[in-house]
Structure 1
Amino acid sequence: MSTEGLSIPGISMGSAEAGAGRIRRSGPPGLFTALRRGVFAALRRPFATTVCVEVAVVALVVLDVWLVIPPKAPPYSIYLSAASCLAVVLRRRFPFLAMLAAVPGFLAGWAQLASMITLGMLATRRQLTWQTWVGAALVFTCRFLQWPLDEFAQLSWREHFLDGIYGVLVAGMPIAIALLLGARAEIAAKLHELAKSRDRERRLYADAIRAEERARLAREMHDVVSHQITLIAMQAGALQAQAKEGQALETAQVIRRLSTRTLEELRSLVSVLRSGAEEDGPRPGIGELDHLIRTADVPVQLTVEQLPDTLPSQVSAAAYRTVQECLTNVHKHAPGATATIRIQAGSGALDIEVENERAREAGETLPSGGHGLTGLAERARLLGGSFETSDTKDGGFRVRAHYPLDR
């Protein structure tokens, strides 16, 4: 007996290629795995991510103060440093005020990192404005001066020069990083705008190509097809005038009526192609099936069940085109056969089934492009439905189409 596909709770069987009898036990994940998954799932939320970042930044600036503060530091320097650490929390909403609140803790305390972080956020939000320049000057002053001022006055010129260099680095580094981030965001926005511009250009180019193709099709249809149909209508009119009665007169009337209607639809379609409208021309609906069946020259048994009073125009047109194409195929490929048409609307969809018997007469071979059923399948797919064809047991042919009504 093959064990492939066998599943037992708590046990996973390996494949035959992995070795027979190889068993891997599976159980609940460990505590560390569950905790890691929970942390990652929480970090995917924007609010949780913001809270974690703020806690990490505050802990970092507090650790910076705690590592450098001397054991016998004045109480006011400790308070000012603590205020600078708390000012870091306000840097997103009030960057300039947060920077001003963090400066005293740097000048008379030990909160250097807090001042640099607030200055970096100020430069990120304001870029090179007067507020950024004021913040840079204050941070440079805090790094260059030493508190109390009497100790600053006792420093040598070398120490003043080194403090000035360090002041430039301390004040310039956050601004440089902020400008780099700003440039990166600006480049990303430019790239996004460029991508949108390229998409618009592609759409405009596609519209231009489509308009050109529409115009070409309209010219061909007007110059070739419309001309031929006009000649057919004229010849049918001449035949109708010559035939006084009988089958010839009826046939001439049918040919003239069909050619005239086809010419009207063709002209409407040419107008649509010329205008570039989204609609695909005149749409005969399901209400015109009676006229189509009477003029199809095919024996038809029609059954309609639960048809609503109104149908979407696209579904109604698709139903008409489906029956029209099926009757045309019966007339061409199965002359003399009876076509059975069943139309039913229910469960929010319109179902059409057309079935014909095998050919009973030897008909004339007519030209066929083989694109009619393909076009019906594409129409059904565009409307969210389905289209199926199959042979019957008695040698006939069956077509089923399903069109949703809620689209």
Structure 2
Amino acid sequence: MRARLFDAMAVCAAALDAWISVDSTDHIGMSCAAVACAALVVRRRLPYLVFALTLPAVVASMAVIASLIALYTLSSRTRNRPALIACTVLAVIGYALPWPTSEFDLTSPDAILISLAYSAAMAAAPAFFGQLVVTHRDLSARLAEIEEVREHRQELIAQNVLAKERAQLAREMHDVVSHQVSLIAVRAGALQMSTADPDAAEAASTIRALSVGTLDELRHMVTLLRASTTVRGELAPQPTFAELEVLLANSGVPIRLDGDLPAGIRPPHQRAIYRTIQEALTNIRKHAPGATATVRVWADDTHAGVTVTNTAPTRPVIPLPSARHGLIGLRERAELLGGDLHCEPCPDGGFQLRLRLLTTEG
């Protein structure tokens, strides 16, 4: 609704400009101005065509509002800088060149320079403003992505801290508390068997029973604490190909999985391939916004691996600090499994990451 309102206002402004600027007896000028005003209705869908339809009105009359609106729309919807520059130059020529051309005074250089300067300023304004809108739109989208990644990283850090605390608590309960309670149970059992006092034997039996029950509860709590450090979504899990589909679906990158996942790959190799894909998708989101990716997992008699290829970014890339620790970790993981990791840019502006692991023993 809002877009339609702006379109209607643009058409009205262009029509008012034509009504003021064009002589009613100038049938050619009026026709060109009418076509220019009508073309603004579809300026969002066909910006290049609409701009071309508004140029005759600029040359044949003084009605320029329609052309300025068309040039702004084109500039705010294109990333083709050479095409935008060419359209801006055409607009400058149209503004500076009088019609008919026989009225063009070549004997006055000052007048020519003033006319060109005025025309260039008038054409450059909507072009620059449109590109400013494109830049603002890209920056907003990029900042939203960065904020999402930051929140996800903070969540992972918090989960990692919580998992470490739970693991430490489980170790302390197992190594210290369970050991002490076990000693209590043993000593209570020895006292129950050696004493002749019925009351002391009954008390020792009660202590031993309570100690055994406490040990069972401690074992159950330790099991729960250790299990809670490996729940899905935290840093401790050891992922396999079974979780790869979820990783691809939640990556935020358009991905095509090339071929079927090979069977018979050992869990350590599956984890290495999973982590490589995870790191590659993270790098695509950071360094190639708007790109698409292709993932191919392969295996033969002696090796297994994965190739992740992404296209060139379609949105401006904002440089972010990176120590490349992710790739270093992947390379070390590959070397531990007798493999190697290679990454290189593609001729089309994309990037490719290749992992190869040795699957044979010995």
Same fold? TM cut 0.5: yes
Task: Trace 1:6-85 onto structure 2 (pairs within 5 A).
Answer: 47=1, 49-72=2-25, 74-85=26-37
CA distance in 1, matches of 2:150, 2:138: 18
What residue in structure 2 maps to residue 103 of structure 1?
55
Match of 1:14 in 2: none
Instruction: Give secondary structure in 2 for the equivalent of 1:126.
Output: coil
How far 1:201 moved relative to its partner? 2.8
Give 1:214's aligned residue.
Answer: 166
Q: How many residues align?
A: 231
Q: CA deviation at 1:75?
A: 0.8
Please state whether the residue corresponding to 1:191 is helix, strand or coil.
helix
Tell me which amino acid in the other structure corresponds to 2:66: A
Q: Which residue is equivalent to 2:324?
A: none
Q: Which protein shows a greater Rg?
A: 1
Deviation at residue 92 of structure 1 after TM alignment: 0.9
2:141 aligns with one of 186, 189, 210: 189
* Residues 99-108 or 218-227, more deviating: 218-227
SS of alignment partner, residue 77 of structure 2: helix
Measured in 2, the distance between the counterparts of 1:96 and 1:207 equals: 51
Cross-structure match for 1:260: 212
2:330 aligned partner? none
Decide whether the 8 Å contact of 2:88 with 2:124 is kept in 1: yes
Following the alignment from structure 1 to structure 2, what is the Cα–Cα distance between the partners of residues 120 and 127?
13
Does the alignment pair 1:120 with 2:80? no
**2:75 aligned with 1:152, yes or no?**
no
Query: Deviation digits for residues 80-121 of structure 1, max 9, x if unmatched?
Result: 101111111211111111111111121223331111111111
Answer yes or no: is 1:133 the counterpart of 2:81. Answer: no
CA gap of 1:135–1:195, structure 2 versus 1, over 3 A, is same
- Corresponding residue for residue 123 of structure 2: 171
Task: Tell me how far apart the structure 2 counterparts of residues 93 and 237 of structure 1 sit (CA, whole Å).
Answer: 87
Aligned mates of 2:152, 2:203 — CA distance in 1: 54
**d(CA) in 2 for partners of 1:165, 1:106:** 16
SS at match of 2:23: coil
2:43 counterpart residue number = 91
Match of 1:287 in 2: none
TM-score, structure 2 length as denominator? 0.57
Per-residue CA deviations over 1:131-188 (Å, capped at 9, x if unaligned) read 3123112211111211112122577332222221122112211111112222222332
Q: Deviations over 1:247-280 (max 9, x none)?
A: 776665554444334323312322433350459x
Q: Which residue of 2 aligns with 1:302?
A: none
Aligned in 2, Cα 1:168/1:57: closer, same or farther, shift over 3 Å?
Answer: same
- In structure 2, do the counterparts of structure 1 residues 218 and 251 end up closer, same or farther at CA, with 3 Å as the change threshold? same
Cα pair 1:102 1:111 within 8 Å, conserved: no
Aligned pair in 2 of structure 1 residues 118, 245: CA closer, same or farther (>3 Å)? farther
**Are positions 1:142 and 2:76 aligned together?**
no
Asked if the contact 2:37/2:66 (under 8 Å) is kept, the reply is yes
Asked if 2 retains the 8 angstrom alpha-carbon contact of 1:127 and 1:178, the reply is no
TM-score, normalized by length of structure 1?
0.51
Structure-2 separation of matches of 1:68 and 1:169: 20
CA distance in 2, matches of 1:241, 1:147: 120
Alpha-carbon separation, structure 2, partners of 1:121 and 1:71: 28
SS state of the match for residue 93, structure 1? Answer: coil
Contact 1:124 1:179 in 2 (8 A): yes
Distance 1:243 1:109 in 2: 119
CA contact (8 A) 1:58 1:88 kept: yes
Inter-partner Cα distance in structure 2 for 1:271 and 1:170: 74
Aligned partner letter, 1:212? K
Confirm whether residue 228 of structure 1 aligns to residue 180 of structure 2.
Answer: yes
Whichever residue aligns with residue 63 of structure 1, its letter is: L
1:44-100 CA distances to partner (integer Å, 9 max, x unpaired)? xxx2x222212111111111111212243x212101101111111211111111111
How large is the RMSD of aligned CA atoms in angstroms?
2.7
Q: For residues 88 and 245 of structure 1, do their structure 2 counterparts lie closer, same or farther at Cα, with a shift above 3 Å needed?
A: farther
| More relative contact order, 1 or 2 (CA 8 Å, 6+ apart) | 2
